[in-house]
Amino acid sequence: MLAYFITGLVAVEAIGIMFIEIFGSPKQQAKAFDLDESFVKIPATKSLLGNQGIYNGLLGVLIFGTMFLLDGPQQILMLEMEMAFIIIAAIYGGLTATRKIILIQGLPAMIALIALYLK
């Protein structure tokens, strides 16, 4: 049960990040991603944030879909893979954008992955 709760929180977080990336104000986006507000206001940057937001949102929906539409070993395998994808993306983001991505996105996914593995 704990594994599913933590995994659900990771999905909610991904969808929440999507909302910041797509619908957040430039001030919110700049603060969330350690960027200059003037940079976030550039149309190309807004487009890139929106694109990244779609990926985060769809990943959150995929996690929920996996939780509610699959069961048994297939469900656990898919959830473990989804958590691994988030961890890999968080490591890359931490190395290329801002280190806090590793903690904010990677750590919850790592905890969920461990909980799923121990299930």
**Mean pLDDT score across all residues of the chain:** 96
Per-residue pLDDT of 28-83, as tens digits, reads 999 999 999 999 999 999 999 999 999 999 999 999 999 999 999 999 999 999 99
CA angle 19, 74, 82 (to 5 degrees): 30
In the chain, how many domains are there?
Answer: 1
109 touches 8 (CB < 8 A): no
- Tell me phi and psi for residue 94, to 5 degrees: -65, -35
Q: Looking at residues 72-99, what average pLDDT do you find? A: 96
pLDDT at position 108 is 98
| Distant-in-sequence, close-in-space partners of 42: CB < 8 Å, separation ≥ 6 | none
Tell whether pTM > 0.85. Answer: yes
In one-letter notation, the amino acid at residue 5 is F
pLDDT at position 119 is 83
Q: Looking at residues 81-97, what average pLDDT do you find? A: 96
What is the span of the domain harbouring residue 22?
A: 2-118
| Distant-in-sequence, close-in-space partners of 26: CB < 8 Å, separation ≥ 6 | 37, 40, 41
